[in-house]
Structure 1
Amino acid sequence: MKLVCEICGNEFERGASFCPFCGNKNEQSGEPLAAVYIQKTVNLEQGRPGLEVALKRMEDAIADARRNKINVLTFIHGYGSSGKGGVIRTECRKNLDFIKHKGGIHEFICGEDFNKRSSSVKSILRRHPELCGHKNMNRENKGITLVILS
């Protein structure tokens, strides 16, 4: 049975004192694998909905993710055809900020800020190292927002 490194997320053999990938000291001696990581992508702009429909989709997706123990949601809201950022993007992020302050989500990351150099992203990567392999990492994608639920 293998263990999962809490820092880099790589699997290594039980009984090893250090992770062979990042050198982190193994604090899991004899413990089972770390909790399952689940990430889901939700396209809020599918079918070109109005603002109210898109916000309802977002709220429903967050509630569904909580019920199903999903760790991270990636919302695709687009950037807007004007080139200045669309209304769905702007309002989704306002609502996520409100939900975060109410305690409904742990954190959210704007796609344009989702890079390994960001200090806030680094702290999230320590908890969810699987995000290092996310297809939008370091791409400055203004059309997405990641929501961290746990």
Structure 2
Amino acid sequence: MQRSPFFALVIVSIMLLASVHATEPEADSGITKLNSKLILNKDWKNAGFKTPQATAETFLWATREGNVEMVLKCLSDSEDVNFTDEDRQRMQPAAAAATGYQPLAIRKIDDNRVQLKFTVPGWQDKPFMHEFTRVDNKWKIDASSSTRTANW
């Protein structure tokens, strides 16, 4: 009977080690860690589209400001996006709940596509990622991808 707790502890330890190693990127996986500081919500601005990080900040700024036109400019294939009045009414309170934005890492898919891993404290607890596509030398959020928790 004393073995049960011991074996349970061993199994939990193995599972924890496996999950830690599963989320660590391999050295040659095309991931670049970023040394970016947290950008507070009040400091978000139109940072342009030169990098995925800048596009993400521009998107968050436009969301906070309720600027649907600029939100759409942040997206690739924005003509496929239907933005309703209800969407507009929800976006400002959602962005206002966020305390900041911090880019953490970039994973290169190819020369014109990357994944950006970032945090938005107050909006989502865990780091998440989104795909970005280079369109006419500007980085845009890939409108066909979805935001999801980053597991790398």
Do the structures match in fold with TM over 0.5? no
State the structure with more CA Rg: 2
Question: TM-score, normalized by length of structure 1?
Answer: 0.29
More strand by share: 2
Question: TM-score, normalized by length of structure 2?
Answer: 0.29
More helix by share: 2
